[in-house]
Amino acid sequence: MTTTHSHEKKAKTSKKKWSAEVTEHSDALDLQNNIFESKDPKEIAESLKKSAEKSKRKKSSPYRSAMSMLTFYINRAGKNLEGSQKDILEKAKDELRKAFGR
């Protein structure tokens, strides 16, 4: 029975590490360190745009790659993301749309 509990705990830890790993070491984008912690939505959008346009490894358009990474981060951070930071990241989506002329 103890094995099951430690296995469940290990599985939860692995999931957290997996999403952090994707954010930090994306196969599609080389992200600026700690960009999602910025308090400036425009800075976040510009950094994602720059990374997406520079990347040779992405599988879709730069806009889609950048928006996907931002959405991924918001969704994976979930309840661990402060409300004010979530608002900033949601505003970064609007800034990203503007940056790509959409």
Q: What is the pLDDT of residues 42-71, one digit of tens each?
A: 999 999 999 999 887 767 899 999 999 999
Q: What is the pLDDT of residues 16-29, one digit of tens each?
A: 555 556 555 555 57
> Which structural domain, as residue segments, surrounds residue 93?
2-99
Total domains, the chain:
1
Q: Sign of torsion, CA 43 73 93 37? A: negative
- Among residues 101, 102, 71, 65, which one has the least CA distance to residue 89? 71
- Among residues 86, 46, 85, 83, which one has the least CA distance to residue 66? 46
CA distance 27 to 93: 21
Please state the separation of Cα 79 from the chain's center in Å. 15
pTM of the model: 0.71
The CA-based angle 40-91-16, given to 5 degrees, is 85
